[in-house]
Amino acid sequence: MLNNEAVNHWKVETDANNIAWLHFDNPGASANLLSQAAIRELDDIIKGFKNNLPQAVIILSDKISSFIFGADIKEYTALENKQQALDFMHKGHALMNRIEALPCPTVSMIHGLCFGGGTELALACNYIIASDDKKTKIGLPEIKLGIHPGYGGTARSIERCGPIAAMNIMLTGRALTARAAKKINLIDEMVPIRQLKTAAEKYALTAPIRHKIPFLMRLANHAVIRPLIAKQMRKQVAKKAKPEHYPAPYSLINLWLKHADNKRLMLEKEAEAVAELATTETARNLVRVFFLQEGLKSQGKQTPFEVEHVHVIGGGLMGGDIASWCAIQGYSVTVQDQDPARLAQTIKRAQYSFKKKFKRDRRAIRDANDRLMADHRGTGVHRADIIIEAIFEDVAVKRALYESIEPNMKPDAILATNTSSIKLEDLSSCLKNPGRLVGLHFFNPVALMPLVEIIRGDESDEKVVQQTLAFGKNIGKLPLAVKSSPGFLVNRILMPYILEAVTMVDEGIPAEVIDKAATDYGMPMGPIELADTVGLDICKSVANILSEALDMPLPENLKNLSDRKLGKKTGEGFYKYKDNKPIKNKSVSYANDKEVQNRLVLRLVNEATACLREGLVENQDLIDAGVIFGTGFAPFRGGPLEYIRSTGIDILSQSLASLETKFGSRFKKDEGWSEIK
């Protein structure tokens, strides 16, 4: 006999075995979020079991591709102070504790995405069963939002998997496949989707004894060993995140170090720690970055674009990597180059990329290899839905190529150029259908940089722009539509910052001091090392274009480049390189390093306001999104415009004015500052 009790987010269905199936189905949404309302409702249902205890409880989702996507992050942004945050955490804790204390077996049945609060809910159950489907991903990614698990997930994941594995997934925030989750004991069983229900029922009705974590793993939790492991963990974390910028991982390590012996206390302190973290500037900005990322993804959702075949022309540094990236993403790809030897290298490099991506999954490597074809003669042109051109940066060469391929292109096929500096209008004028040309500007290295700029030329067809945005999203990148203008958005904003750094080297300030000023601010790499990594010849050519268009004089150090000192690729640039790493003198110092930092940062943010004034992208947030995902700009600061807002326009204007007095008009405040909202 079925007994259905409909509520808003949850539906309770009791079957003939008296198992209560708790179906989660967020009304009107494609994914389940564990909002405060959903927590309240579920808590009421669980409370109701006190007088009417079922044989067992199974928690499942009625959504097609997610179990629970996590807590509702929007609710975090509304938290004003620590007390509010603490009340918020306590509600989640009360629910999880109540589930854990139920005197009947409890099972979570996971298919699809299960993150954050969803995983914490699963951890509160006795058993976790997951489908082995590709869609199933399980994780505790809170660290990426500047907090750590706050609904009991810290203590419970450690209890289940042991501290090493559990801390690893919490500190990295990475998502696990069901297989990986099973391997570390995060889930009890992984089954094909058609057997999921039966497996959950079996656990609910037989309540088998839970697998115990091995002795050695438990040993890592011992009070004597913990400080040693914690020290090691801090060291690992420090390589990626400074405590003053990203406090959450350090707070998590401390929580474990201090309270791992006492679960009740650890849960209590977990809520307090997360309440503290949730109201920091870092967490607010990382949540902002999450929404900026969602904003970019949604740019690619407006117009559907079915691509069956991609043709890449130019198998060099960029074209080769773009081709292998598209093959990794599941597309059939041909890659063309005029130089057969180069093409052979391209395919060799692609194999390396496939192995790096798919590791020991031989079938995935083989499939990617099958999808990518070398195509010296360009036979792929006629069947491609999108052609990506990444040949030499030369207007005449590109135009000659376009004229030769256009007659063979499908009538609706898009021609996308990866040019980093040529005006689209200078290229499109040779085409019979100039509207089909759009910019698709990838960043180097293609596999690591999440952003692609979609450049809208004066003549680009709007449908073509929208389809290219969709393509950008479909290949797993974050697409950003940018107006055609010198340097587009990212290089335009980055270049003044790099030029200022090189100017400082001209003045005699050590490169190490300049780079440290930038990394202290939160940049992933200093500007001098970045220039060396990109290649000084490439920097110079982008700088040349911008200096002509925007009156940015070139520093002496860039004007006179030696072919033997072009940066990392030649073994020497501003730094000398050993084993691909710069040799830095750690003992150099400079008295006025604060000014060094101001000079770098203010050139960058001032240029960001100029782009705002010129309307290069659709709104203010997209400038921050572009700079963060295109350059790695300190995410915990929320982007250059957010940095201006949070530091204060007046304070930064004064700094700019004093730099202008000392160093000249390049520090003149742009009129765009008045548009910052």
Contact residues for ligand NAI, defined by CB under 6 A: 313-319, 336-339, 342, 390-393, 397, 401, 418-420, 442, 444, 538
Residue 331 beta carbon to ligand NAI: minimum distance, rounded to whole angstroms:
19
Q: Measured between alpha carbons, how far is 17 from 624 in angstroms, rounded to an integer?
A: 55
The catalytic residue among 142, 389, 453, 512 is 453
Residue 322 beta carbon to ligand NAI: minimum distance, rounded to whole angstroms:
9
The catalytic residue among 270, 324, 441, 474 is 441
Q: Which one, 491 or 503, has the nearer CB to ligand NAI?
A: 491
Handedness of CA 168, 128, 147, 518 (dihedral sign): positive
Q: Which one, 370 or 394, has the nearer CB to ligand NAI?
A: 394
Q: Measured between alpha carbons, how far is 399 from 396 in angstroms, rounded to an integer?
A: 5
The catalytic residue among 32, 285, 420, 557 is 420
Q: Measured between alpha carbons, how far is 408 from 432 in angstroms, rounded to an integer?
A: 12
Q: Which one, 246 or 442, has the nearer CB to ligand NAI?
A: 442
Distances in Å between the alpha carbon of 590 and those of 287, 294, 431?
36, 41, 55
Q: Which one, 271 or 313, has the nearer CB to ligand NAI?
A: 313
Q: Measured between alpha carbons, how far is 335 from 311 in angstroms, rounded to an integer?
A: 6
SS3 content of the chain, % helix, strand, coil (to 5): 55, 15, 30
211 is catalytic: no
Question: Counting Cβ atoms within 10 Å, is residue 604 exposed (0-12), middle (13-18) or buried (19+)?
Answer: buried
In SS3 terms, 171-238 reads as: HHCCEEEHHHHHHCCCCCEEECHHHHHHHHHHHHHHCCCCCCCCHHHHHCCCCCCHHHHHHHHHHHHH
CB 18 within 8 A of CB 69: no
Q: How far apart are the first and last CA of the chain?
A: 59
Residue 390 beta carbon to ligand NAI: minimum distance, rounded to whole angstroms:
4
309 is catalytic: no
Residue 378 beta carbon to ligand NAI: minimum distance, rounded to whole angstroms:
8
**Read out DSSP for 559-571?**
HS--TT-SBGGGT
Q: Which one, 142 or 389, has the nearer CB to ligand NAI?
A: 389
Q: Measured between alpha carbons, how far is 488 from 611 in angstroms, rounded to an integer?
A: 9
Count the Cβ atoms, other than its own, within 10 Å of residue 123. 28
453 is catalytic: yes
CB 148 within 8 A of CB 101: no
Q: Measured between alpha carbons, how far is 364 from 358 in angstroms, rounded to an integer?
A: 6
> Among 588, 561, 556, which residue's Cα sits nearest to residue 573?
561
Q: Measured between alpha carbons, how far is 637 from 147 in angstroms, rounded to an integer?
A: 15
Q: Which one, 315 or 626, has the nearer CB to ligand NAI?
A: 315
Residue 313 beta carbon to ligand NAI: minimum distance, rounded to whole angstroms:
5
Cα-only R_g, the chain = 27
The catalytic residue among 35, 460, 491, 606 is 491
Q: Which one, 316 or 486, has the nearer CB to ligand NAI?
A: 316
What is the number of helices (H) and of strands (E) in the chain?
28, 23
Long-range pairs for 337-341: beta carbons < 8 A, 24 or more residues apart: 337/313, 337/376, 338/376, 339/315, 340/376
Residue 404 beta carbon to ligand NAI: minimum distance, rounded to whole angstroms:
8
Q: Which one, 241 or 343, has the nearer CB to ligand NAI?
A: 343
Q: Which one, 238 or 395, has the nearer CB to ligand NAI?
A: 395
Residue 316 beta carbon to ligand NAI: minimum distance, rounded to whole angstroms:
2
For residue 522, the one-letter residue type is G
Which tokens hold the place of 252?
């998590």
Q: Which residue is nearest to ligand NAI (CB)?
A: 316
Q: Which one, 181 or 478, has the nearer CB to ligand NAI?
A: 478
Q: Measured between alpha carbons, how far is 458 from 438 in angstroms, rounded to an integer?
A: 10
Q: Which one, 187 or 530, has the nearer CB to ligand NAI?
A: 530
Q: Which one, 420 or 474, has the nearer CB to ligand NAI?
A: 420
User: Which residues are bridge partners to 235 per DSSP?
Assistant: none
CB 313 within 8 A of CB 378: yes
Residue 474 beta carbon to ligand NAI: minimum distance, rounded to whole angstroms:
20
In SS3 terms, 468-533 reads as: HHHHHHHCCCEEEEEECCCCCCHHHHHHHHHHHHHHHHHHCCCHHHHHHHHHHHCCCCCHHHHHHH
Q: Measured between alpha carbons, how far is 410 from 433 in angstroms, rounded to an integer?
A: 12
Residue 420 beta carbon to ligand NAI: minimum distance, rounded to whole angstroms:
4
Note the helical H segments in 17-149: 36-48, 73-77, 82-101, 117-123
Residue 434 beta carbon to ligand NAI: minimum distance, rounded to whole angstroms:
18
Residue 223 beta carbon to ligand NAI: minimum distance, rounded to whole angstroms:
51
Helix 649-663 / helix 640-647 crossing angle, nearest 10 deg: 110
Backbone angles phi, psi at 592, to 5 degrees: -100, 60
Residue 315 beta carbon to ligand NAI: minimum distance, rounded to whole angstroms:
5
Q: Which one, 377 or 578, has the nearer CB to ligand NAI?
A: 377
Secondary element (H or E) of residue 340: helix 340-358
376 is catalytic: no
Residue 267 beta carbon to ligand NAI: minimum distance, rounded to whole angstroms:
49
Q: Which residues are catalytic?
A: 420, 441, 453, 491
